[in-house]
Amino acid sequence: MKGLIVLMTLLGFLQNPSRERVLHIDGAEVRTTYDIGNEFYGIYKGRKAGYLELRSDGTGIYRYDYSALMKNCDGTTINIEWGFLLDESGQVVRFERPYGYSYPIIYNCTGVNSFRNCTMTSMIDYIMVYNTGTINVSSSDDWKKINN
C-alpha cells in the first residue's frame, strides 16, 4: 500500500510538476514560482561587469557592477534562489505599464554574500517586458536580456 501511495504521488508530480516555493522578503513569506516562459531564463547584462542570471531550476547569480567595502563581504557575486510573485489564485503577478508589463521577482541569497553590503538576504526587483519585446531588470539602469 505504501508503494502505491508513493507511485501515485510521483505520477501526480509528473503530470503537474509544481515549481512553486515560499521565499522570504522583509520578514514575510511569499509564494513564488520559477515555472515561467523560456524568454525570462538567461542572462541580463549591461555595459559594465554586473549581470543577473536566471536559471530554469530557480537558482541564479546577481552580480553587482561594483564591489562592496565590507569586511568578509566582497558583495559582488551573490548566489540566489529566485521566484516570480504569485497571487492568491496561483497566477504570476504582473502590472500593466505604459511600456508593457512589470513582474515582481524575489531574490533570496544562498551563499555568504548578500545584498546591500551583506546586510540584506532578500530583495524584490522587477523584470520589465517592453511592448517592443525587450526585457530589462529594474534594479540596474542598463541590464537587458541577452540572447543566449
Per-residue pLDDT of 84-118, as tens digits, reads 999 999 999 999 999 999 999 999 999 888 888 88
- Grid coordinates representing 32? 513564488
Task: Tell me the sheet residues that pair with 127.
Answer: 103, 137
Q: What is the pTM of this model?
A: 0.84
- Grid coordinates representing 96? 500593466
Instruction: Concatenate the DSSP letters of all residues of 35-71 into one string.
Output: ---GGGSEEEE-SSS-EEEE-TTSEEEEE-SS----T
Residue boundaries of the structural domains of the chain: 19-145
